[in-house]
Chains A and B, each alone.
Chain A
Amino acid sequence: MDAKLLPPTADMLRFLPETILTIAGTLLLLLEGFKKDEDSRTVISTLTAIAIALAMYGTVVAYGNPGLAFSGMIISDGFAAFFRLVVLAVGLLTVLSSTAYLEREKSSTGEFYVLLLFSLAGQCLMAAANELIMVFIGLEVSSIASYILAGYLRDDKRGNESALKYFLLGSFATAFLLYGVAWVYGMTGSTNLLVIRAALEAGVPSMTMVGAAAGLMLVGFAFKISAAPFQVWAPDVYQGAPAPVSGFLSAGPKAVAFAVMIRVFQTGFEAIAPRWEPVLWMMALATMTIGNFAAMWQNNIKRMLGYSSIAHAGYVLVAVTAHSTTGTAAAMFYLAAYGLMNYGAFAIVTYVAGRGEEHVTLDHFKGLSQRQPAVAALLTVFLLSLLGVPLTAGFFGKFYIFKAAIDSHMVWLTALGLLNSAVAAYYYLRVLVVMYMHESESTAHAPEIPGGLKITMWLTAAATVVLGVFPGLVLDFATKFAALNK
């Protein structure tokens, strides 16, 4: 009786990142209540950054203790560690760029950072979940905090609307996911992925019902990764949410939703792979096409990046459809690279948008190269990387994805995917043309770039280029950890 009050130390260590984030979040919430002067904001954002760095260290500790924890509910493996680090890195960038943003919008409060920490805790839990109920709890912890972050500027109409749409459609999707979980539980008698896998291999009463349950869960995941036909919320939410939050939402939660999806389908539902592969194939194609073609008509940069994020989800789905170790590794590399370059692009938008985010249309980027040569050059790096030009991370990301697709004999999907990338050139290059070949309309003196934003821009740009020259830095890890079920 006495020894059972606390779980074994090894279990606690495998759960360390989430523990650190949750405790730090709670303490900072208390601190926010006691400190009311303006200086305390910097203290809180610094402490948040330290907490995230500690959680990264916790991830390394958890990786040093591989195995199952809490009766098989959590798994600490390389795959979990990889995605935990990706979301924590995105979180760190968000802290760096939000401080200046919140000051500019005059809504600098500590709760923003606390919500960010809770959202990260949920995402880390998702990355390590080995059980469908844990997936659900991680997803909700992450989502509920993100709903508030999306509407953080309370008096901003666009932010409100964005939060409402995100909340309604997100909860709707979660209900589908959960109904799928309930039916999987009913058919296999468990929600543990390894048990589900064993049960499906041994045979269950009704394979049709398992297929339907997997379909319901797929609907839930498709919403979270903004895959067609469940992508409609993404552009609205990314357009309306504060720019640093949009960057965060398009990088962190999306990467980890993919991680969960890969883990669930390639361990739990491995036995019914022939049923879900064609569905993912069509979903990948539809997602790429809708994202790219809709992005062409956008005049608002944030909305364009929203559609572009749908298109990128489509590319990653190609890698997931490939259903091989190389495919999973390619998806992991792409999600890490995409997180960095897309966050960088959103950091630039954060800066150019100005107070109240009024300068977000293409016209406001006219002549940016004359006003702000460095900013324009950095945005060029990000857009070229999103497009997939060689010497950027995006190139290798796309290269590995389509290589994995060819290896899995998906020639048609590869060809259509490459055509899609060509379409994408139109809207990315259009921004470059506007920046470099149009005269600036405004003569206003450009405000100085705040320190945190500057660091974010340069860090992400450096990472984009370094990964474009030495992709092995990340790909080696991805390849090592991609074998989930072997």
Chain B
Amino acid sequence: MSLYDLFPPEFFKLSVPLAGYLILSAILFTIGVATFLFRRNVITVFMAIELMLNAVNLTFVTFSNHFGKVDGQIFSFFVMVVAAAEAAVGLAIILMVFRNRATLQIDDFDTLKN
């Protein structure tokens, strides 16, 4: 049983309906939101945001393919570039916080409150 047998050329010609991709992206986005809200580790929370941005990219690319236009794919590049910049700054901030407090639990960051 080779890889070729598992995925013959015909396999790639099968088309998943538009809604399939959109539902997948909505699920990814929801997982991202839930992770952001319920996880307590800063790094995990940060990864949740990346997951949400990737869900957005999937939506853009899906619609772009659907319309037969490339602009949606270009937007997803913009999103990736910005996400990379955000990751650089975000990780730097997390590092700084960790140096000062030696913890990554969100609940411990409570100096500023009423």
Residue numbers of A with Cβ under 8 A of B are 133, 136-137, 140, 144, 147-148, 151, 154-155, 157-158, 160-165, 167-168, 171-172, 175-176, 178-179, 181-183, 185-186, 189, 191, 235-236, 239-240, 294, 297-298, 303
Most chain A CB within a 10 A radius of its CB, from B46, B56, B100, B113: B56
Given known pairs A164-B42, A179-B29, the reply for A186 and B63 (CB within 8 Å) is yes
- CB proximity of B90 to chain A, nearest CB, Å: 5
Chain B residues numbered 71-89 whose CB sits less than 8 Å from any CB in chain A: 71-72, 75, 78-79, 82, 85-86, 89
B114 within 8 A of A: yes
Residues of A within 8 A of B34 (CB): none
Check A164/B86 contact, CB under 8 A, given A137-B78, A175-B52, A182-B56.
no
Nearest neighbor of B54 in chain A, beta-carbon distance: A175
B93 touches A158 (CB 8 A): no
Residues from chain A with a CB closer than 8 A to the CB of B78 are: 133, 136-137
Q: Least Cβ distance of B45 to chain A in Å?
A: 6
B101 at the binding interface (Cβ < 8 Å): yes
Docked CA distance A179–B29 (Å): 8
**List of B residues within 8 angstroms of A160 by Cβ:** 93, 96-97, 100-101
Rounded to whole angstroms, the CA-CA distance of A228 and B96 in the bound complex is: 30
Which residues in B have their C-beta under 8 angstroms from that of A185? Answer: 60, 63, 72, 75
Q: Is the CB of B97 within 8 A of A161?
A: yes
Report yes or no: A144 in contact with B85, Cβ–Cβ below 8 A. yes
Q: How far is the CA of A137 from the CA of B97 in the complex (A)?
A: 27
The answer to whether A158 and B60 have CB atoms under 8 Å apart is no
Inter-subunit contact A140/B86 (CB<8 Å): yes
Residues in chain A near residue B75, CB distance under 8 A: 133, 181-182, 185, 191
Query: Contacts A137-B78, A137-B82: A158 and B94 contacting too (C-beta < 8 A)?
Result: no
A461 to chain B, nearest CB (A): 29
Interface of A is mostly: helix
- In the complex, what residues of B have CB within 8 A of residue A186's CB? 22, 59, 62-63, 66
- Residues of chain A contacted by B86 (CB below 8 angstroms): 140, 144, 171
Number of residues from B at the complex interface, CB < 8 A: 41
Shortest Cβ distance from A187 into B: residue: B63
Report yes or no: A168 in contact with B45, Cβ–Cβ below 8 A. Answer: yes
Listed by A's residue number, 12 A-B pairs whose Cβ atoms lie within 8 Å are: A147-B89, A151-B93, A160-B100, A161-B111, A168-B49, A175-B32, A178-B79, A179-B52, A182-B75, A185-B75, A235-B114, A303-B114
* B59, chain A: closest CB distance, angstroms: 4
Complex CA–CA separation, A151 to B94 (angstroms): 11
Contact A178 B97 (CB under 8 A): no
- Residues from chain B with Cβ under 8 Å of A144 in the complex: 85-86, 89
Which residue of chain A is the closest to B37 with respect to CB atoms? A172
Q: Which residue in A137, A165, A178 is a CB contact (below 8 Å) of B109? A: A165
Contact, CB under 8 Å: A172 / B93 = no
The smallest beta-carbon distance between A152 and chain B, in angstroms, is: 11
CA distance A154 to B63 in the complex (A): 43
Quote the shortest CB–CB distance from B113 to chain A (angstroms).
8
| Besides A136-B78, A164-B109, 10 new A-B residue pairs in contact (Cβ under 8 A), listed by A number | A136-B79, A136-B82, A148-B89, A168-B46, A171-B90, A178-B56, A179-B55, A182-B75, A297-B114, A298-B114
| Contact yes or no, B59 A179, CB < 8 A | yes
B57 → chain A, closest Cβ, in Å?
8
Choose among B46, B62, B78, B82 the residue with the greatest number of A CB atoms under 10 Å from its CB.
B82
Residues in A with CB closer than 8 Å to B79 are: 136, 178
Q: Does B112 contact A (CB under 8 A)?
A: yes
CA distance A185 to B78 in the complex (A): 15
Chain B residues closer than 8 Å to A176, beta-carbon distance:
52
On chain B, the residues within 8 Å of A154 by CB distance are 96
Q: Give which listed residue, A157, A175, A294, A298, contacts B49 with CB less than 8 A.
A: A175
